[in-house]
Amino acid sequence: MMDTSKLCPLQLASLRWLKQSRTLEEIARIEDRTVVDIERCLQDALVLLGADSIEAAKAANDARDEDLDGPVGYVSAAQRKREFAADMGIQAHSLRMAAEGAVAAYAKVLGETWKPFDRPVEQPGHSLGRKAAEAQISAFD
């Protein structure tokens, strides 16, 4: 694996596009550059990577697959993860605001502050059989 940390963003993007079988003309149009600029960029990338060929340079860029664009009409995996995280953040904030509103409404309607339900603790020494026997005996009282 070659060290791609030396490459500029345009070089990394150009290698990704090449890996997706894009032509130099397509890459130039996508990156808003000339074909000559892309050729020079790729030549510099080959030198920086010490690669013998474009295929070797494309293989060196394997670690960045998560940022690749998805098929036409779909976003990349990284973009989907960012959008999911944003949606979950909005949902969490909305739930908290709803809960705070419910507590405030409870206080306004009933005139006392809301307290969470405390379940009475059962005595751990009593078994189910013993409880049943006590219930049966209490029926005669």
In a domain, residue 119? The reply is: no
Q: What is the pLDDT of residues 54-109, one digit of tens each?
A: 776 666 655 555 555 555 556 677 788 888 899 999 999 999 999 999 999 999 99
Indicate if 51 and 100 belong to the same structural domain. Answer: no
Q: What is the pLDDT of residues 29-45, one digit of tens each?
A: 888 889 898 888 888 88
Indicate if 22 and 63 belong to the same structural domain. Answer: yes
Indicate if 54 and 100 belong to the same structural domain. Answer: no
In a domain, residue 13? The reply is: yes
Which residues make Cβ contacts (< 8 Å) with residue 2, sequence separation at least 6? 49, 50, 51, 56, 57, 60
| Total tally of structural domains belonging to the chain | 2
Residue type for 130, please?
A: R
Q: Which domain, by its residues, includes 82?
A: 75-114
pTM to 2 decimals? 0.39
Indicate if 89 and 51 belong to the same structural domain. Answer: no
